[in-house]
Amino acid sequence: MIDPMFTAEQATVSTLLNCYLRETRSGEWMASSPLVGQAPIVRIKLSALHLTIIAPVCYHSETGRHRYRLPIYVQSASHELRPIRLTTLASLLLEQIAASEGTSFPEKLLKRIVNSCRNLEGYIRTRLHHSDSLYEPNLRFLDYEQSLLFGHPFHPNAKSREGFNSEEHFHCSPETGGRFKLHYFAAHHTIVKEGSQWKPSASASALIKRNLLGELVQESARTGAIQREDKTKPAIHSFLHDPAYALVPVHPVQARWLLQQPHVDRWMRDGLLINLGGLGESYAATSSIRTVYRESAHLMYKFSLHVKITNSVRVNKRGELDRALEACQVLDCIEPRLHEVHPQFHFIRDSAYLTLGETEGEESGFELLIRENPFQGDDGKRAIVSASFTQEAVDGSKPLLARIIDQLIMKQGLNGQCDESVARVRISRGWFQRYMKLTLYPMLWLYNEYGIALEAHLQNSVIVLGEDGYPERFYYRDSQGYYYARSMIGYLEQDIEGIKESGNGFDDAIVEERFGYYLIVNHMLGMIQSFGRAGLVSEKVLLFDLYEALQSMRDLHRIYNGLIAAWLGKKELRIKANLITQCWDIDELENELEQAVYAQMPNPLHEIGAKAALIRKARQVTAPWRDQERLVPSQRSG
């Protein structure tokens, strides 16, 4: 029987230990130890405290995403051993980091880790018996967006939230299947600031009115009659057709915050802003929490939300609204050529924005991005946010990735025809290779040709599976995740006047640090870890496939001998250190250049590279035997 509290604590402990080991480069691995019944362990010396953490290991990962067995132990200088729980473990690790970094003890982070674990326990209780709507391969876009119960596997407090009350937390969280009505204001045109690159041409305010009108019509059709106006509220239909007013949707939690702000109170007293309350159909929270989705809508809304999620308050900056439209101009320039080479690689655009203010640069809390929705209705079938592949099943059943591979084995008639473990490896490798062709290859081509790097972490990535169960199309989202390398920005300037002054232009070293982390460490290694943890194929096998894929890109002349060679040959990779960043209490979204703390991790591709020639030779020698084995039916009964 699944115990939600135990499952949440085990997951939080595992993530915390993995963050600590990766970011501090500490830990002594032992194949067995009599201290914990001969199980493999990792020993972590806390030199400042004269203590040692001993963690039993039940899965050792080549790329750092290990799984541990509770309880975790602490050993004193006198060798006394005692079990400890999450709060004690976190306190000890944070105290050691504070001593090493020369900072004060991070009380806020400790509270966030505990808060994250409690929230996770609640999500597990809520969704424990919903595995059919979490991990099946034939679900829809929203199902997968709301399936990330465990969250980022290398963030110590992936599920911490500060700023929701308990009712809001339940109704507005994707992990609970949250749905809610949007809160609307009517704003006089004198305080409305908007921009649009929407196709076909439409202003942001027109898009919002058209969308809400459609919702009200649907609502009326569903109830069988036009509902009578609430006499306590201004007549919504008059504002829908009045060009002097724009309708402004906001997240209901943000509405609560806005109604407490002096500038909002002043606008309302001056008659420039009218509070209309909750209107229209319900929207669902997606994995980012502040971007909302409705199955039949042709758009999504990305709101400002004055809530601290993990370690950052999630608001749209005024400059980000303009840069979203700038990204649309960039895509207009590059997509025709990109699609000639990589026709299945797509961008989801934030093509319009609307906000309120009396001056151009003002941030009022109403900042809204309007995102295209390519996943309307049946177009959302098998549209999977890639972070879903990293999630364990809350009920102990098979995770999504294992179900996809098992379904392919069944479809191809390989169950019972050959050793199923061999079939699993073969299908997994083929699936991952197709995945790389849709993701890794196009993104490196884009950086080679235009100097554009994408912040393509797993949560910014959506993969659509075909009817056959293999990756068919890829979508990148997030207009805040474009980096233009300064060495190439002059090339873009030829087609996009003014791009040299873009806030997304960075020195090449910064671009390549972030590109390497998001594409290789977070994304590719994240996928490899997921195959390994699901027992489908050894991480080493897929690391070799990734190595071969990168090595094959010699036609990318500008970056092959520099960036790609560094990824293949350097002994270390740069990583975002989420744990240490928070020990310094850094909100990276408020920091200069949105810079988190970066650290180094051992590069698993470097070790694979040293063995690559031997592996290739061994494969050539054994190829005839392996081909024969594939033709021999399994001798197992059943």
pLDDT digits (tens, 9 = 90+) for 410-426: 988 877 666 788 999 99
Cα separation, 441 vs 434, in Å, equals: 10
343 Cβ contact list (under 8 Å, min separation 6): none
The length of the chain in residues reads 638
Residue 489 sits in the same domain as residue 538 = yes
Asked if residue 490 belongs to a domain, the reply is: yes
Supply the DSSP string of 295-324, one letter for each residue.
TT-SEEEEE-EEEEETTEEE---HHHHHHH
Distances (CA, A) of 528 to 389, 450, 466, 543: 10, 28, 21, 7
- Taking the alpha carbons of 437, 440, 443, 447 in that order, is the dihedral positive or negative? negative
Asked if residue 632 belongs to a domain, the reply is: no
Asked if residue 364 belongs to a domain, the reply is: yes
Q: Residue 478 pLDDT > 80, yes or no?
A: yes
Note the pLDDT of residue 220: 82
Beta strands in 423-554 (DSSP E): 452-454, 461-465, 471-476, 482-485, 505-506
Distances (CA, A) of 609 to 102, 103, 574: 37, 39, 18
Q: Residue 228 pLDDT > 60, yes or no?
A: no
Question: What would the two tokens of residue 111 be?
Answer: 């509270």
Question: What would the two tokens of residue 605 be?
Answer: 């591709």
Question: What would the two tokens of residue 434 be?
Answer: 């197709």
| Contact present, 611 and 543 (Cβ < 8 Å) | no
What is the residue type of 634?
A: S
Residue 198 sits in the same domain as residue 342 = yes
Domain total of the chain: 3
Note the pLDDT of residue 628: 57
| Percentage of the residues of the chain whose pLDDT score is greater than 90 | 85
Question: What would the two tokens of residue 266 be?
Answer: 């002043």
CATH of the domain at 68: 3.30.310
Residue 67 sits in the same domain as residue 192 = no
Note the pLDDT of residue 414: 78
Confidence class for position 636, pLDDT limits 50, 70, 90 = very low
Instruction: State pLDDT tens for residues 46-57.
Output: 999 999 999 999
Cα separation, 15 vs 457, in Å, equals: 18
Confidence class for position 635, pLDDT limits 50, 70, 90 = very low
Angle among Cα 203, 206, 211 to the nearest 5 degrees reads: 125
Supply the DSSP string of 343-395, one letter for each residue.
TTEEE--EEEEEEE-SSTT---S--EEEEE-TT-GGGGBTEEEGGGGGPPPTT
The predicted model gives 520-541 an average pLDDT of 98
pTM exceeding the 0.75 threshold for the entire prediction: yes
CATH of the domain at 555: 1.10.510.40
Residue 203 sits in the same domain as residue 338 = yes
Asked if residue 47 belongs to a domain, the reply is: yes
Note the pLDDT of residue 633: 43
Q: Residue 63 pLDDT > 90, yes or no?
A: yes
Residue 245 sits in the same domain as residue 282 = yes
Note the pLDDT of residue 36: 80
The predicted model gives 170-184 an average pLDDT of 97
Q: Residue 311 pLDDT > 80, yes or no?
A: yes
Note the pLDDT of residue 621: 75
Query: Pick from 585, 530, 528: which is nearest to 403 by CA?
Result: 530
Residue 470 sits in the same domain as residue 563 = yes
Give SS3 for 419: coil
Q: Average pLDDT of the chain?
A: 93
Asked if residue 443 belongs to a domain, the reply is: yes
Cα separation, 289 vs 172, in Å, equals: 7
Cα separation, 416 vs 418, in Å, equals: 6
What is the residue type of 564?
A: I
Asked if residue 363 belongs to a domain, the reply is: yes
Cα separation, 68 vs 174, in Å, equals: 27
410 Cβ contact list (under 8 Å, min separation 6): none
Q: Residue 332 pLDDT > 90, yes or no?
A: yes
Partners of 45 in the beta sheet? 52
Note the pLDDT of residue 612: 76
Domain closes at, from 522, 546, 569 = 569
Select the more confidently predicted residue: 418 or 183: 183
Number of neighbours of residue 566 by Cβ within 10 angstroms: 15
Query: Pick from 521, 520, 526: which is nearest to 550 by CA?
Result: 520
Residue 89 sits in the same domain as residue 184 = no
Residue 251 sits in the same domain as residue 268 = yes
Give SS3 for 96: helix
318 Cβ contact list (under 8 Å, min separation 6): 355, 361, 362, 363, 367
Which of 66-80, 241-255, 416-430, 517-531 is the least confident region? Answer: 416-430
The predicted model gives 490-509 an average pLDDT of 94
Domain closes at, from 569, 587, 605 = 569
Query: Pick from 16, 157, 134: which is nearest to 396 by CA?
Result: 134
Q: Residue 226 pLDDT > 50, yes or no?
A: no
Cα separation, 98 vs 46, in Å, equals: 11
Note the pLDDT of residue 637: 35
Domain that holds residue 531: 383-569
Residue 221 sits in the same domain as residue 320 = yes
Instruction: State pLDDT tens for residues 588-609.
Output: 766 666 678 999 999 999 989 8
| Contact present, 94 and 580 (Cβ < 8 Å) | no
The predicted model gives 490-512 an average pLDDT of 94
Query: Pick from 471, 311, 461, 469: which is nearest to 388 by CA?
Result: 461
Helices (H) and strands (E) in the chain, counts: 21, 26
Domain closes at, from 546, 569, 592 = 569
Q: At residue 597, what are phi and psi to the nearest 5 degrees? A: -75, 135
Alpha helices (runs of H) in 412-497, residue ranges in sequence order: 420-438, 440-450, 486-493
Asked if residue 44 belongs to a domain, the reply is: yes
Question: What would the two tokens of residue 345 be?
Answer: 């690689």
Confidence class for position 224, pLDDT limits 50, 70, 90 = low
Residue 79 sits in the same domain as residue 40 = yes
Q: Residue 32 pLDDT > 80, yes or no?
A: yes
| Percentage of the residues of the chain whose pLDDT score is greater than 70 | 94
Residue 78 sits in the same domain as residue 186 = no
| Contact present, 389 and 458 (Cβ < 8 Å) | yes
The predicted model gives 567-577 an average pLDDT of 96
Give SS3 for 473: strand
98 Cβ contact list (under 8 Å, min separation 6): 104, 105, 106, 583
The predicted model gives 448-461 an average pLDDT of 98
Asked if residue 145 belongs to a domain, the reply is: no
Residue 431 sits in the same domain as residue 361 = no
